[in-house]
A and B are shown apart, each in its own frame.
Chain A
Amino acid sequence: MNDIYQFVSGPLAWVAFILFIGGSLYRVIAMIAEVKKKEPFIFTYMSLKYSLRSILHWITPFATYNWRRKPVLTVVTFAFHICLFVSPIFLLAHVTLWDESWNIRWWTLPDGSADIMTLIVMASCVFFLVRRLTQREVQFVTFVSDYIILGIVAAPFITGFLAYHQWFGYPILMILHVLAGEVMLVAIPFTRLSHMLFSPFTRAYMGSEFGVIRKSKDY
């Protein structure tokens, strides 16, 4: 078991991080290069002020018309995304590993809070799943890949939660947890999870178009 764990948390982790960081850089750079080559006019309209106006409105709960129209979804999606980022990055156990390997550490969450955040992520995933299954407008545009993506995101949290509480076969769950995290990292640049990379750009462009040309609001 130690061998497997050391493999997934050692060489495989390297592979995952290299693919995640390298893949993300590649996707973003390739996009910018292609804009430069084929649609350079986009740069003409980019405006820092309106990019930020747009991004800030959309990352603030209830700051946009559509967020206000959908209060439940807004609360869930914000809670989901915040917990999704904050809990793994500031988890004591994760930071401890960074510290042991790289001698770097940063502020950490109390384990109890991280546990609640994990529950929030899992509950949100269930919410999204139910939404996909029951809301006609979502169901109509749902592909198998959408369920897979949701599963990829939920898996590290489910396995992490079980591993933390040491329920059902601890060492195997731990290994699965590490694997699930790595799958998610690698999936970010190469699936629609890439909205994490691209949404600031699409938002900035639309914000600029609406601010500079249309003199109106995109939020």
Chain B
Amino acid sequence: MKKGMIIIAGILFLSSVMLLSVHSQEDVTEVDRSVFTNPQRPAAVFKHDAHNQNAGIENCNECHHVYEDGKLLEDESSEDQRCADCHGPEADGNKPSLVKAFHVNCKGCHEKQQKAPILCGECHVR
């Protein structure tokens, strides 16, 4: 029942996004930091499509993950949501704060791949 509600809500949301969307993924050049009230660093450089092409990422949920009760749901993805919808300004239990979510998600993968930037200033370029 609950799952059904979420799916319906998801479909409604998706369709409204598709209708209202004024820019698409190709336009993404930096990480969305509009929710930060007092950002200390320049927004992290992130060209969505180019990045994914370079990195050979095909599945959205490589980044747009979904966790439930602390477990990663393998087959689900959350590209229909903003990261800030789940990750608040502060950590909540096991769920990291938005800043940390960004860092862990991006830098964590970069460290594993051994060929992507991991220094602060390589993403937060001035």
Contact = CB atoms under 8 A, between A and B. Distances in A.
Interface of A: 2-3, 5-6, 92-93, 96, 99-100, 110-111, 163-166, 170-171, 174
A96 B99 contact: yes
A93 B120 contact: yes
Interface centre among A6, A164, A165, A166 (most CB of B within 10 A): A166
A148 B120 CA distance: 29
B40 interface: yes
Interface string B92-126: 00000001100110010001001101111110011
Given A92-B40, A99-B100, A166-B126, 10 more contacts: A2-B114, A3-B114, A6-B118, A96-B99, A96-B100, A100-B103, A100-B107, A111-B41, A164-B121, A170-B122
B118 A100 contact: no
The 8 closest A-B pairs by CB, nearest first: A111-B40, A166-B126, A166-B121, A170-B121, A174-B119, A92-B40, A93-B120, A2-B118
Given A92-B40, A110-B40, A165-B126, A170 B100 contact: no
Interface residues of B, number: 19
Nearest to B111: A6
Interface centre among B40, B117, B126 (most CB of A within 10 A): B40
Interface string B8-43: 000000000000000000000000000000101100
A100 B115 CA distance: 20
Nearest to A170: B121
23 contacts: A2-B114, A2-B118, A3-B114, A5-B118, A5-B119, A6-B111, A92-B40, A93-B120, A96-B99, A96-B100, A99-B100, A100-B100, A100-B104, A100-B107, A110-B38, A110-B40, A111-B41, A166-B125, A170-B121, A170-B122, A171-B122, A174-B120, A174-B121
A110 B41 CA distance: 10
Interface in B49-96: none
